[in-house]
Amino acid sequence: METTAADEVVGICRDLLRIDTTNTGDPRTTVGERVAAEYVAGKLGEAGIDVELHESAPKRANLIARIPGADRSRGALLVHGHLDVVPADASEWSVDPFSGEEKDGYLWGRGAIDMKDFDAMMLAVVRDWARTGYVPPRDIVLCYTADEEAGMQYGSQWLVDNHREKFEGCTEAVGEVGGYSYTVNDDLRLYLVQTAEKGLDWLRLHATGRPGHGSFIHDDNAVTNLADAVARVGHHRFPTVVTPTVRTFLEQVGDALQIDIDPAEPELAIAKLGPIANLIGATIRNTANPTRLEAGYKDNVIPGRASATIDCRTLPGEADQFLATLRELIGPDIEIEHVHQQPAVETSFDGALVDAMGAALRAEDPGARTVPYLMSGGTDAKAFATLGIRCFGFAPLRLPADLNFASLFHGIDERVPVEGLKFGVRVLDRLLRNS
Ligand SMILES: [Zn+2]
């Protein structure tokens, strides 16, 4: 019997899990991406697919391959996955996080759902096409990136800044985080397709004051000035805003669960959603969380400067309004530095590709219904969207009803259901053939 993509995907995913691609956030200690990219290059090479490796820094490898489609005048579809993973503390795990162990119907390991599962699906699908001589309807650009987990400066952002010509003609993109199932009942599963991501703005606040001796009366203390501002920001609750994506999500989920959901009362609505409430809770308002404080060098010296970091996440279309409010809270005397900024992205939940996602899922799961959602975190889509590409999170997985999927992201005992992986590769194959 001939090998199929579903036969291969588990082995490929296991191989990838065994390559430690921990992204420490420090380029000196992040080394596995090159090994993983070479593994992918080897698998594509076996299938006769030409690949290019681009290193943004030593060992920080990104891979690009273009598979020509039947109609080259059509826009290309970008299919992307990152190869790095967040660190795992082996002492907390029930298995070695880099063993790729298979047990209880799951493949275990750091990256199993974020996102070596999808990396493996991409590979298995195009290798299957190469074996059978299949030509997709339009160009498919495969891209494997480094550094998604620590800001994308060595990965997708670097590619977009330095090799944007490689994405020439790409009109749409498919990557993480979406396409997974939420079981309503035996006959109905919602598959959440990510169509929007919140923006990210890491701010550093700098307060100044008059330096002096800690024993004196002192009315212009940088630490006090900073602490006041940080407390005002930290205690502030930004108002709820229901974006078009969240409105559609709430309506469709309300309909599926047969519960009354009033989009005018998003907090009450979300409280009714049970396990997916966590996922959606942060997508109805902007947030600003103080995360770091720095000041002083001696117990009896009042420093002249103090600084704090605020992790801000903004809804699509809300950044200006948000910053104006923040400026008011912080006050005029404190300087605001933008340390790292990524604007929110949002695309509409319509068009032929969206229809093809629904059709591909229903062909493999008759109880499937797709629902768009906004994610509070960020992915490589943020970088690719700056090229005008419509980005979707769609890494298909059918999950057991009782699995707490959200907790596995960057979590202990990260694992992917083996059957889910095989399901995913069949859905991805259908989607790409009908894209
Ligand atoms: Zn990821």
Ligand 1 mean position, distance from CA 379 (Å): 6
Give ion ligand 1 contacts, CB < 5 A. Answer: 114-115, 176
- Report the separation in Å between the CA atom of 36 and the middle of ligand 1, taken as the mean of its atom positions: 15
Calculate how far, in angstroms, residue 407's C-alpha sits from the geometric centre of ligand 1. 13
pLDDT confidence bin for 2, thresholds 50/70/90: confident
Predicted confidence at residue 253, as pLDDT, reads 87
Residue 343, φ and ψ in degrees, nearest 5: -65, 155
Per-residue confidence (pLDDT) for residue 145, from 0 to 100: 98
Three-point CA angle 151, 153, 158, nearest 5°: 140
Active site residue 84: yes
Q: Which of 101, 117, 147, 148 is catalytic?
A: 148
At 71-100, the pLDDT tens digits run 999 999 999 999 999 999 999 999 999 999
Contact predicate 201/338, CB 8 Å? yes
Cα of 189 from ligand 1 centre, angstroms: 23
Cα 122 to ligand 1 centre (Å): 15
What is the pLDDT at residue 29?
A: 87
Taking only the tens place, the pLDDT of each residue in 35-63 is: 999 999 999 999 999 999 999 999 999 99
Phi-psi category of 210—alpha, beta or left, where left has phi over 0 and alpha has psi -120 to 50? beta
**Cα–ligand 1 centroid distance for 242 (angstroms):** 25
Q: Which one is catalytic: 33, 84, 117, 197?
A: 84
User: What distance in angstroms lies between residue 84's CA and the mean position of ligand 1's atoms?
Assistant: 8
Q: Is 165 known to be catalytic?
A: no
- 1 pLDDT band, cuts 50/70/90, is low
Print burial letters for 329-340: b (CB count within 10 Å at least 16), e (below 16): ebeeebeeeeee
Give 133 Cα–ligand 1 centroid separation in angstroms.
31
What is the torsion angle, in degrees rounded to the nearest 10, for the CA atoms of residue 216, residue 220, residue 222 and residue 226? 130
What's the gap in Å between 339 CA and the centre of ligand 1? 22
Q: What is the pLDDT of residues 352-368, one digit of tens each?
A: 999 999 999 999 999 99
Strand partners, 393: 175, 194
pLDDT in tens, 145-203: 999 999 899 999 999 999 999 999 999 999 999 999 999 999 999 999 999 999 999 99
